[in-house]
Structure 1
Amino acid sequence: MSIPEIENEIVDEFSLFEDWMQRYEYIIELGKSLPLIEDKYKTEDNIIKGCQSKVWLHGEEHEGKIVFTADSDAILTKGIIALLIRVFSNQKAADILKANTDFIDEIGLKEHLSPTRANGLISMIKQIKMYALAFEAKQ
């Protein structure tokens, strides 16, 4: 599935909820299905700077695609990174780099986060794109 297809799927899912309490609960549920990072990658180098809670992100290349795993010490943040991993994991570096993240605005996520969490979201996206940049440079 392509990045735009996954993003459209997420927008459709979020449109099913009537209010933001339901959407927060859904994001928390997503966090429970997050492909967890191995303990050996829970290092200072893999912590995303700019997040108020701890978020670890690791990317590996498999057959020309980047596979991400992550974890967080906060349940809402764990759900947010799970949402991003759903969009960007198992994608080619070039596709990640050219992807926009309009779906975040479409579902209203950024405006419903505290300023520090919104900054953390931006930092997560930036880190995912940095992985893509690094993997693309290797090719």
Structure 2
Amino acid sequence: MTLAEKRTALIQELAPFEDPHERFQYIIDRAKGAEGLPPELRIEQLLIEGCTSNLWLYPTVRDGICRFRCDADSLITKGIATLVCELYDGATPSEVAATDAEFLAEVGITQHLSPNRRTGLANLVSKIRAFGRHTHDASASQ
């Protein structure tokens, strides 16, 4: 599935929830079912700065495909981060670098976040896209 297709699928998944409380409850329920990171990956070097709660991002690349795993000590943070990681997971570095996560605003998520959570979310997306750029640049120079 391409990034554009994933984006469309995530929008369709979240669109039925017009009430912000229902939407966030759905995100929390998704977080409860999402796989977290093992304790050895919940380290300071993988923390995303600027977030109200602890949020860890573990990016990897293998055979030209980016993989993103995340975890947080808050269910709402973990749920939103999981949506973002699902969007970018499985994409090429150049796709990751070129794609924003504006679908979250389109489905009414970012508007209902506190300023600190919005900052944390922006930092997460920035870190993911920077990983894509760095990985793409590194493979292009080889």
TM-score, normalising length: structure 2: 0.91
1:7 corresponds in structure 2 to 7
- 1:138 Cα deviation from its structure 2 partner: 2.0
Asked if 1:20 is matched to 2:20, the reply is: yes
1:59 equivalent to 2:59? Answer: yes
State the match for 2:88 in structure 1: 88
Identity %: 27
Q: Is the 8 A contact 2:55 2:73 kept in 1?
A: yes
CA distance in 1: counterparts of 2:34 and 2:21, whole angstroms: 20
Instruction: Determine the C-alpha separation between the residues in 2 that align with 1:30 and 1:135.
Output: 29
Once superposed, which parts of structure 1, at least 4 consecutive aligned residues long, lie more than 4 Å away?
none
Counterpart residue number, 2:136? 136
- The letter for the 2-side match of 1:91 is A
Gaps of 5+ in 2: none
Shift of 1:97: 0.8
Q: CA deviation at 1:82?
A: 0.4
Pairwise CA RMSD of aligned residues? 1.3
Matched, 1:69 2:69: yes
Which secondary structure state, in structure 2, belongs to the residue aligned with residue 59 of structure 1?
strand
> What is the SS of the residue equivalent to 1:90?
coil
Asked if structure 1 preserves the Cα contact closer than 8 Å seen for 2:84 and 2:101, the reply is: no
Query: CA separation in 1, counterparts of 2:128 and 2:38?
Result: 17
TM-score, length basis structure 1: 0.93
How far apart are residue 90 of structure 1 and its match? 1.1
Q: Look up the equivalent residue of 2:17 and give its one-letter code.
A: F
Q: Deviation digits for residues 35-70 of structure 1, max 9, x if unmatched?
A: 422322221110001111000101111221111111
Answer whether contact 2:99 2:129 (CA < 8 A) is retained.
Answer: no
Instruction: Tell whether the 8 Å contact from 1:33 to 1:82 is kept in structure 2 after alignment.
Output: no
Map of 2:107 onto structure 1: 107
- Asked whether the 8 Å contact 1:104–1:110 carries over to 2, the reply is yes
| Map of 1:126 onto structure 2 | 126
Read off the aligned partner of 2:36 and give its amino acid letter. Answer: L
Aligned to 1:41: 41
Corresponding residue SS for 1:117? helix
Q: Distance in 2 between matches of 1:49 and 1:68?
A: 17
